Amino acid sequence: MRTSELVTPALLVDAHRLEDNLSTMADALPGSRLRPHVKAHKCTSLAARQEHMGHTAFTCATIREMEGMARAGLGEDLLLANEVFDATRLGALARAGARVTVAVDSDATIDAAARARVPEVVIDVNVGLPRCGCPPDQAGRLADRARAAGLSVRGVMGYEGHIVGLEDRPRRAAMLQESMGQLVLAAGDVGGDVISAGGTGTYDLNAWATEIQAGSYALMDTAYGNLGLPFAQALTVVATVISVSEGWAVADCGLKALGMDHGNPSIEGADVWFCSDEHVIFVPEFRARVGDRVAVLPAHVDPTVAYHDSLHVVEGDEVVDRWEVDLRGW
Amino acid sequence: MRTSELVTPALLVDAHRLEDNLSTMADALPGSRLRPHVKAHKCTSLAARQEHMGHTAFTCATIREMEGMARAGLGEDLLLANEVFDATRLGALARAGARVTVAVDSDATIDAAARARVPEVVIDVNVGLPRCGCPPDQAGRLADRARAAGLSVRGVMGYEGHIVGLEDRPRRAAMLQESMGQLVLAAGDVGGDVISAGGTGTYDLNAWATEIQAGSYALMDTAYGNLGLPFAQALTVVATVISVSEGWAVADCGLKALGMDHGNPSIEGADVWFCSDEHVIFVPEFRARVGDRVAVLPAHVDPTVAYHDSLHVVEGDEVVDRWEVDLRGW
């Protein structure tokens, strides 16, 4: 099948760029040094490629992702890097044979894990991003409580989400050092051998974590594209031009095909004006004609992929595979 | 089932508010005066409620929506208010018995409709929103071309999307008059008896259109909520508090559960800071505890619904029905 035969909008993954991204990362962070985050692609077929590169432990953001990974035979070591109040399904998943670890940051989430008989936890530490995670000085106390509740404490995690996207690399490095200093101190109080942290933007700077939770590096987006990382934009949304006016053109890729929290997508050789539900409106430098295909580059990959039911793997204009985006929903 | 038993995040539709919204609109625009736009909810069960209120003609934004509506027995008069370059599936839909009309705004889209044997078209006229639609003075020529190609021309459409969201009602009315003046002139050149236009923000101001394409009125969102319309917010995303820190709390409803193009969602009695993939971070005036349920109000309903596989219809805390969001994708 050719890309020109696809119903648009459709997600395209450049097979060679994807493999380059995966192997560049596997060279930098081989095996268990990387715990790929599946939230970025929500696709077990892509996760299987990451496993093929040597990474057998994965990071998830939702229980559905944990379940889907286990069902796909990728449940050797799954970390839910997020708090849950109802861990029932996680307990069941562990008893069905997957290795299940969940992040906890409070008495309530520890109790939830214990109640559901989730065997293993990491203490989630706030390292500067105002989101989840306990204050660093509380980590030891929570670890004690978790052990008292019968849970095995593997160590700590702390996501430096306020740092991974900083374009100024020296500033990124300096802030990272401060942030990870807190995590390492907390790890000493907690015990265990896991210090899980990091993302695509700090993958080669984070020397403190024992494992890096990067996800975006596989497909990339225009936001991360500004950081000068050695990963190429492998994901595009192919759209069809449906209307051309004096001064602008419209293609069929809109708000329901694109994560918009990082702003408008990009189109090479064009200025994107705005998006509607099913439209992207742009001023092309090239001559656009109704029926032309255009490649739309999303600003943020994760919420883009979550709108689509499949990834089309392409080599040039040929669609060589179709991967289901099978980890969507909750 | 109680709402407290739902896996979160989950879409809730308040049954009474929905029925009130539907009947308020049906009173104002009875029967064929309203052509409800299904893109706002992507749900044939909800469309069936609109049909029950007397509206038997519907507006769609995608071919998938057209197909799904026909499959659900709601194909009496379906308008695809959008241009398509490949109309093959629309032609097949018409031959299978649905009444299918498609918007055209160029020679290329007219030829596409004729090639696919889509029986009926409307000429889409640009009435001020820089998106699809021909210049008003080209509408007559395109109608002639469509008829010459064997198509039946039902009239015109023109969406005043640059006006529907204006909070200043007198300004909205004044701009609408100018915009619709252009459409009425074009309608004279085109012929036919359809002048299709409008949205929730102009439903009671647009006296020029023969039918109004409103969709958001059924569920509403916080963006339209600022206009003082007689429609209530019927859609919320229920989320669970998963983490509480000194100064903020986090619930499990993020970028993959919310359309973000109109900005952050709202939480009553709280200041929303930001969203991550699976988190909303907010400063509550109330005391938030892990495990609490919170109602998150999306800024934009359409791309919010498109992330979810079902709408849970609720009366108070009771889930009385589950409607599949069955018109997603393309």
Q: Nearest CA to CA, how far is A110 from chain B (Å)? A: 11
Regarding whether A55 and A175 lie in a shared domain, the answer is yes
Domain final residue pick, A161, A189, A219 = A219
Regarding whether A27 and A7 lie in a shared domain, the answer is no
Question: A327: how many CB neighbours lie within 10 A of its CB?
Answer: 26
pLDDT, position A92: 98
Regarding whether A189 and A242 lie in a shared domain, the answer is no
Range of the domain at B236: 3-11+232-324
End-to-end CA distance of chain B: 32
Q: pLDDT digits over B43-52, tens only?
A: 999 999 999 9
Q: What is the CATH number of the domain that holds B148?
A: 3.20.20.10
Chain B residues near residue A248 by CB distance under 8 angstroms: 130
Question: What is the enclosing helix (H) or strand (E) of A170?
Answer: helix A169-190
Pairing outcome for strands A100-104 and B120-124: unpaired
- Best mutation target among B80, B83, B242, B325 (most A Cβ atoms within 10 Å) is B242
Q: Which two tokens stand for residue A235?
A: 């994901």
> For A83, which of B243, B276, B277 is closest by C-beta distance?
B243
Q: What is the CATH number of the domain that holds B277?
A: 2.40.37.20
pLDDT, position A223: 86
Indicate the pLDDT class of residue B164, thresholds 50, 70 and 90. very high
Give the C-alpha separation, A314 to A52, whole Å: 19
Domain final residue pick, B220, B245, B274 = B220
Regarding whether A297 and A203 lie in a shared domain, the answer is no
Regarding whether B256 and B146 lie in a shared domain, the answer is no
Q: From B115, B202, B190, B196, select the one nearest B161 (Cα to Cα).
A: B202
In a domain, residue A226? The reply is no
Interface contact A7-B330, CB threshold 8 A: yes
> For A329, which of B135, B289, B309 is closest by C-beta distance?
B309
Q: From A200, A258, A260, A203, select the one nearest A224 (Cα to Cα).
A: A200
Chain A residues near residue B131 by CB distance under 8 angstroms: 243, 250, 276, 279, 281
Q: From B62, B86, B101, select the one nearest A291 (Cα to Cα).
A: B86
| Mean pLDDT, chain B, integer | 97
Regarding whether A24 and A7 lie in a shared domain, the answer is no
In a domain, residue A93? The reply is yes
Q: Which two tokens stand for residue A240?
A: 């069809």
Q: Which two tokens stand for residue B54?
A: 């007397």
Q: Nearest CA to CA, how far is B131 from chain A (Å)? A: 6
Domain final residue pick, B161, B190, B220 = B220
Regarding whether A270 and A197 lie in a shared domain, the answer is no
Chain B residues near residue A213 by CB distance under 8 angstroms: none
Q: pLDDT digits over B232-273, tens only?
A: 999 999 999 999 999 999 999 999 999 999 999 999 999 999
* Contacts A–B by Cβ distance under 8 A: 154
- Which residues of chain A carry a pLDDT beneath 70? none
Average confidence (pLDDT) over B96-106 = 98
Give the C-alpha separation, A267 to A282, whole Å: 8
pLDDT, position B223: 85
Average confidence (pLDDT) over B10-28 = 98
Do residues A280 and A268 lie in contact, with contact meaning Cβ atoms separated by under 8 Å?
A: no
Name the one residue in this structure whose structure tokens are 């892509």: A46
> For B82, which of A126, A278, A309 is closest by C-beta distance?
A278
Q: Nearest CA to CA, how far is B248 from chain A (Å)? A: 8
Give the C-alpha separation, B118 to B142, whole Å: 16
Interface contact B247-A130, CB threshold 8 A: yes
The residues, ordered by sequence, that sit 6+ positions from A74 with a Cβ below 8 Å of its Cβ are A44, A47, A48, A51, A58
Interface contact A240-B126, CB threshold 8 A: no
- H-helix segments, B72-197: 88-95, 107-115, 139-148, 169-190
In a domain, residue A249? The reply is yes
Regarding whether B198 and B245 lie in a shared domain, the answer is no
pLDDT, position B233: 96
- Best mutation target among B109, B276, B310, B324 (most A Cβ atoms within 10 Å) is B276
In a domain, residue B226? The reply is no
Interface contact A330-B8, CB threshold 8 A: yes
Q: How many domains does chain A have?
A: 2
Regarding whether B160 and B203 lie in a shared domain, the answer is yes
Regarding whether A240 and A215 lie in a shared domain, the answer is no
Nearest-10 Cα torsion for A125, A127, A131, A133: 10
The residues, ordered by sequence, that sit 6+ positions from A36 with a Cβ below 8 Å of its Cβ are A47, A50, A55, A58, A59, A213, A214, A215, A218
In a domain, residue A329? The reply is no
In a domain, residue B329? The reply is no
Q: Nearest CA to CA, how far is A210 from chain B (Å)? A: 24
Give the C-alpha separation, A253 to A176, whole Å: 37
Average confidence (pLDDT) over B105-129 = 98
Regarding whether A111 and A20 lie in a shared domain, the answer is yes
Beta strands in B179-303 (DSSP E): 194-197, 211-212, 235-245, 248-251, 266-267, 270-276, 279-284, 293-297
Q: pLDDT digits over B130-163, tens only?
A: 999 999 999 999 999 999 999 999 999 999 999 9
- Collapsed DSSP state (helix, strand, coil) of residue B200: helix
Give the C-alpha separation, A169 to A160, whole Å: 14
- Best mutation target among A105, A111, A256, A258 (most B Cβ atoms within 10 Å) is A256
Q: Nearest CA to CA, how far is B303 from chain A (Å)? A: 5
pLDDT, position A284: 97
Interface contact B132-A243, CB threshold 8 A: yes
Regarding pTM above 0.90, the answer is yes
In a domain, residue A32? The reply is yes
Regarding whether A245 and A166 lie in a shared domain, the answer is no
Q: Which two tokens stand for residue B63?
A: 């071919």
In a domain, residue B198? The reply is yes
Give the C-alpha separation, B237 to A241, whole Å: 34
- Judge residue B171's burial from the number of C-beta atoms within 10 Å of its C-beta, 0-12 exposed, 13-18 middle, 19 or more buried: exposed
DSSP class per residue in A107-133 = HHHHHHHHHTT--EEEEEB-SSSSSS-
Do residues A226 and A167 lie in contact, with contact meaning Cβ atoms separated by under 8 Å?
A: yes
Q: Nearest CA to CA, how far is A125 from chain B (Å)? A: 11
